[in-house]
Amino acid sequence: MARTAGTTARIQRLTALIAIELIALAVGFAFGRVFIGHGATYRLLAVSVVSALVAWAFERRSLLLATAVSAVLLVVAIGIVVFPATTWFGAPTLETLRHMAHAASQVGEEARIQISPAPANDSLMLAAITAVWAAVFSCFALAFRAGSPLLSLVPPVALVAFADSVLDGVIKPIYGVLFLIGALAVVFADSLRRIHGWGPVWSPPGARNRLLPSAGRGARRIGAGAVVLAALSPIFVPGFGSKAVFDLSSINADSRVHVSPLVEIGAVLNQSDPVEVFQVQSDQPAYWRMVGLDVLDDTGQWSQAVEQGAAVQEGQQLATGLQGTTITERFTVTHDLGYPWLPIAYEPSALEQADDSVTWFAGSQTMTVAAPPDQGATYTVQSVYPTPSAVALEGTPVGSAVQYPDETKLPGAIPPKITDLAQQWTRNDTTVFDRVMSIQRHLTDPAVYHYSTTVSYAPTMQGLSDFLLTDKRGFCQQFASAMAVMLRSLHIPARVAMGYASGTQITNNTWSVKTTDLHAWVEVPFQSYGWLPFEPTPGKTNPAMATYMSSPSSGTNCEASTGKCSRGGANKKHGGSRGSTTVQRREFATGNLNNRPVSPGTSFSAPRKVPLGEAVAWLAVAAALVLAGIPLVHWFRRRRKLHDAAREPRALILATYDVFSERAADLGFGRGLGETPLEYRRRVEATELLVDGQLERLTGTVVRAAYASRAPSEDDAMDAAADADQVIRDLRRSTPLGRRLFGIYRRD
């Protein structure tokens, strides 16, 4: 029996693949802990495994080619995992690249305001996928291209250490042990290659170059002992369990609810575990407004105009000049906040009590405190909001650009389609109020626009145009921004307000407000009435809008279908019926609708139903792709097997016979388990389907290549390939058409 020197290249590559996949699993599991829930971990695991496969598959190619392919596949992976709605059957598009650029620009801000574990929003997932992919790919390149196994462990260990440094928990050793096993596997795979280069290492007779006999029991014992020792030794080291010298877990880990008007609030809405932010005792429900965003810059970002605030004392009256409904609300902070704005009902008229000094900004009607309120902080505010009727507002003008320069300014890059759409929606309106209501009515039409927190748009005017004209799916941020921009394009001053919706009523006059109630809406200034709120998000109703959405006291009704108002009760205008019968709906994150307290009478817009024909069509496309992909995978694998064995005639002959056996099995002539080549030849020849002796010659060549001491020549390998092809052609002529077409999908 011939013995083979050292471990074969196939065994070495297989060992390298196992080692890098262990590293990939360790990195995916460990780094996934920085996100809330298990979904992000599973996605990072898939990305890390694919990165390892790409690095392994292109090991024998040039480094430049491997890096280029890795970069392209990284973009594909980000598109599929983070922005699937923007891809074309999984392939990234220009829209995908725009979303990636936007998410990348927000990574720094998200990392600053989020705490660990953080929600798996677009920006942080993009950064995590990029880091995991690069760490695994560079680990393989350094270990098996550069021959530096110890240096190769630096990139992945940096991610594992980062996760350990920002998180607390007692399960860290589990990830450390998993990473240690992967590290030992990398060193072992590198050692196999190095030892093979020093000289022959004989395997035991009959071992046939298997990995475990080649490694030996000693290597396995050393590896197991190292893992056990590394896992247990920290327990006996002085200082085990004490606080770190540099405790990174305290950074941004103040358990506050962070909100920034410059960052998409979708990250907060999509948190898997909503947090109660505050409770409010009030005479009536309201939107709890925090800040008005007046300035729209060239990048499409909304921000608060710069103004000088004034200190306000307890009991001090604020000059509002408004007449309407007066309410008193007492706020109790139930979770530490990460922002200085005080949620209040618009518009505050007096500060009755506060635990800290308060600053009043009259321009944006915003109250702030020096430091974000902590849990247990309380304050009491008296507010008044006007109650005009729709008829009264129809005859009321709004402010001019001279009065509101920031609230009428638009960036120069606004697409003409947005202005054209605003003019189309309001072409039959004669008053400013009618125009405002028409735009609101179109945006809240459930047959056209749909509420979804899973969408992501570039923070540009083009992204806004895509929302309005193409996708037509979004949440409050898109709807409010779209309405404000469209109003400004009609020279109507408008701004975006940010705060919280009413919340869930828990007693007669107490509401519980959670992070999922975070909301944005639109405000327009009417003379004598100040800034009035308007609600462009489908399914939402602001209690302060009740009088001019439907005004029974004035005998005025507003009809949603025409956008006009008139006296009498025959017609209903501007969606008055919706305003009077629909209670405020909460902005729920996807998948979190169950097990939540909902106030009685709350109604929800139905989710979009996929038509049966569309679902069947997509299933048919998916099935076609799978059916087309299986033959391609088999073809690629067989070509790869022949390519890997092409350097040595003996290996090429054996590989040719393996491929021949698989192709014959596709035609219904598979080789039985444990059947020798001679037994297989006699069984096939007994069918009398073969006319020449190609199978006999092929069998003889294979047997000599497997057992003869004389090495076969390249001509023998070429003859074996020709005989195999001829036998397959003979078998195909005698095989039914259906078997020839679909035989690859089953085995006899």
DSSP string, 420-471: HHHHHHTTT--SHHHHHHHHHHHHT-TTT-EE-SS----SSHHHHHHIIIII
Residue 247's φ and ψ, nearest 5 degrees, are: -95, 95
| Distance (Å, whole) CA 324 – CA 330 | 20
HSE-up of residue 549 (Cα within 13 Å, Cβ side) = 22
Helix (H) or strand (E) holding 326: strand 324-333
What span, in angstroms and rounded, lies between the C-alpha atoms of 482 and 496? 10
Integer CA distances (angstroms), 277 to 115, 250, 255, 282, 517, in order: 16, 21, 12, 16, 9
CB 257 within 8 A of CB 337: yes
Strand order in the sheet with 316-317: 316-317, 348-354, 378-386, 324-333, 276-282, 510-514, 504-507
**What string of DSSP letters covers 72-103?**
HHHHHHHHHHT-GGGSBTTB--HHHHHHHHHH
What's residue 15's pLDDT? 85
Q: Beta-carbon neighbour count of residue 206 at 10 Å?
A: 9
Spans of the chain, pLDDT less than 50: 1-5, 169-171, 198-215, 237, 239-240, 242-253, 255, 551-608
Rounded to whole angstroms, the Cα distance separating 41 from 691 reads 58
- CA gap 121, 124 in Å, rounded: 6
- Domain spans, the chain: 9-248, 618-745
One DSSP character per residue, 193-250 reads: HHHHHHS--BPPTT-TT-HHHHHHHHHHHHHHHHHHHHHHGGGGSTTTTSPPSS-GGG
**For position 603, what pLDDT does the model report?**
40
Determine the residue type at 30: A
Contacts of 236 (CB under 8 A, 6+ apart): none
Strand 344-345 versus strand 366-369 pairing type = unpaired
DSSP-assigned letter for residue 543: G
Q: Look at residue 372 in the predicted model and tell me its pLDDT.
A: 79
618-745: in CATH 1.20.120: yes
Q: How far apart are CA 431 and CA 421, in angstroms?
A: 18
In this structure, are residues 522 and 494 in contact, taking their beta carbons and an 8 Å threshold?
A: yes
Residue 429, CA atoms < 13 Å, CB-side half-sphere = 25
| 418 φ/ψ angles, rounded to the nearest 5 degrees | -70, -45
3-state secondary structure of 269: helix
Residues 112/114/118/120 CA torsion (nearest 10 deg): -80
Structure tokens at 331: 């706020």
